[in-house]
Structure 1
C-alpha cells in the first residue's frame, strides 16, 4: 500500500496538469468559459421547473430546489462515469509513448467532474438564498453523501474504462443505460407518486440512496439514518473494490487494444 501511495504522490503534479487540460479542452473557444459550469444547471432547472410544475403539478415545496439538487447528484454521476469510461481511449497516444500510471487518467476525469459538481452545488446555494430558503447546519453534512458518491463513481469509472478498451460497444450501451437510470432516479419526481413495485426498483438504485441522503440534509433539515449511511458506504466500497480489481487485472493489456 505504501508503494501505491508513494507512486501517487510522485505523479500528483501530472494529475494536476491532466485535470487542468480537461477543463481547458472542455471550455476552449467558449466566450463564457468556466462560467457555463454554473449557468448550465441553473438554465436546466428553469426549464424543468416550468415544464413539470405546469404539466404534472407535483406538490413539492420549493420544487426548483428539489430539481436542482437532483440534477447536481445525477449529472455528476453521469458526467464522471462517461468521462472515466473514455479516459483510457482518449489518452491512447500518450499511453503509447511514456509510462504513466494508467489509473491517473481515470482519476483526472473524475476530478474534473468534481469541479463541475462544486459549481452545481454553488448554484444550488445561490438559488436557495434567492428563494429565501432557510439554510440549516445540516448542510455541512452534505459532504458525506457527496464523498460517497465520488468514490462510487470512481469505482464505476475504473470498471468501465477497463472494459471499454476491449469492448467498444459498451460506450453505446452505457448511453442507453444512463437514460434509463435517469428515469429510475427521483431527480424530477417524488417517490410518493410511484406504485409499490416501482418504488422498490427505484430504491434499489444506489443513486437514489445518495440523492435522498443529500436532500435530507440540504432541504429537509434532517440527518440521514445510520442504515442509509451504512448502505452508502457499502455501495461505494464494493464499487471501488470491483473497479480497482478489474482495472488492475486488465491494465497491462490496454496497449494491445488501443
Structure 2
C-alpha cells in the first residue's frame, strides 16, 4: 500500500511535465497546418463522408442513421488506434532524454495516450455536427458518455503501457501491432452491422472485443435513446481496469532495464 501511494505521489509530482508533453504533442500535430485544430473536426467528417458513400449501398438499409452509427465507431476506434500506436514509441523515442536525466519513464507513455485523448475530445465536435445534421434526439443518458470515454481511456493507457515496455525489448512489436490493428478494425462493427458476422465470430466479438463494449455503449445512448446495457458497462470497466493493472505491472517490472536497450 505504501508503494501504491508512493507511485501516486510521483505521478502528482510530475503532473506539470506531463501537461507540457501533452501540450507539445498537440501543437506538433497541427504545426504548419493552415486550418490547425479545425482538422480535429474536419478529418473525421471527411473520412465519414467517404465511408458513407462507399458503404451506404451495402449496409444503410440494415442500420438506422448510418452516418451517426459510422462516426461513433470511427471516432472511438480511432482514439484507441492512435493512442496505442503513439505509446509504442514513447520510450524508445525519448531515449536521448532518458539517458541524460532522471524522469519517470511512464510520464512519456501517459502523455502520449492523454494527448490522443485530448485530440479525441476535439473530434467530438464532428460528432455534434453529424448529430445535428441527422437530427439525433438528445436524452438524459448523454450524461453517461464521459464515463464511456473514461473506460476507453483507462483501457488504452493500460494497453499503451504494455506495448511501450514491450517495444523496448522487441522493436518488431510496432510492425506486428499494425497488422493486429488492421484485423481488429475488421473484427469491430464500425461500418457494418454485427448481424453480418457468423454466429461463432459474433459471440467472440460481443464478449471478448473491448472496443465493441465501448462503441456499443455509446451507440445505445445516441441511436437507441437508452441507458447502456449493464453487461457492456461491467465488461468495459473490467477490461479497462485489467488492462491498466497488467500494463502498469509489466511496465514497472521492466523499466529499470530500459536503459540497457534504448
User: One fold, TM greater than 0.5?
Assistant: yes
Residue 45 of structure 1 deviates from its aligned partner by 0.5
Q: Counterparts of 1:226 and 1:68 in 2: how far apart (Å)?
A: 23
1:152-163 aligned at under 5 Å gives the runs 152-163=155-166
SS at match of 2:165: helix
Aligned residue for 1:221, secondary structure, equals coil
2:32 to 19, 29, 42: 29
CA separation of 1:58 and 1:102: change in aligned 2, threshold 3 A? farther
1:145 equivalent among 140, 148, 152: 148
SS in 2 for 1:91: helix
- Provide the rounded CA distance (Å) in 2 between the counterparts of 1:45 and 1:227: 29
Q: Matched residues in 2 for 1:120 and 1:34: separation?
A: 9
Residue 189 of structure 1 is aligned with which of 192, 198, 205?
A: 192
Alignment of 1:36-47 (within 5 A): 36-47=39-50
CA–CA distance in 1 between the matches of 2:40 and 2:248?
29
Match of 2:112 among 109, 112, 130: 109
1:217 aligns with 2:204: no
1:205 matched to 2:216? The reply is: no
Does residue 254 (structure 1) correspond to residue 258 (structure 2)? The answer is yes
Rounded Cα–Cα distance in structure 2 between residues aligned with 1:34 and 1:41: 12
TM-score normalised to the size of structure 1? 0.96
Q: 1:80 touches 1:113 (CA, 8 Å); kept in 2?
A: yes
Whole-Å separation in 2 of the counterparts to 1:97 and 1:195: 54
Compute the RMSD of aligned alpha carbons: 1.2
CA distance in 2, matches of 1:93, 1:20: 20
Which residue is 2:68 aligned to? 65
| Partner SS, residue 87 of structure 1 | coil
Separation (CA, whole Å) in 1 of partners of 2:64 and 2:134: 11
Check 1:58–1:169 CA distance in 2 against 1; reply closer, same or farther (3 A cut).
farther
Q: Partners in 2 of 1:126 and 1:120 — Cα distance?
A: 10
Distance 1:238 1:207 in 2: 14
> Are positions 1:227 and 2:235 aligned together?
no
CA distance in 1, matches of 2:133, 2:216: 23
The equivalent of 1:80 in structure 2 is 83
Q: Which residue in the other structure is 1:242 paired with?
A: 246
Flag structure 2 segments of 5+ consecutive residues without an equivalent: none
In 2, the alpha carbon distance for the partners of 1:123 and 1:28 equals: 21
Q: What residue number does 1:128 align with?
A: 131
Which stretch shows the higher mean deviation, 81-90 or 128-137? 128-137
- Return the offset for 1:129: 1.0
| Structure 1 residues not aligned, in runs of 5+ | none
Asked whether the equivalents of residues 155 and 241 of structure 2 are also in contact (C-alpha less than 8 Å), the reply is yes
Deviation per residue, 1:26-66 (Å, 9 max, x gap): 12221112211111100000000011012444421211111
Q: TM-score, normalised by structure 2?
A: 0.95
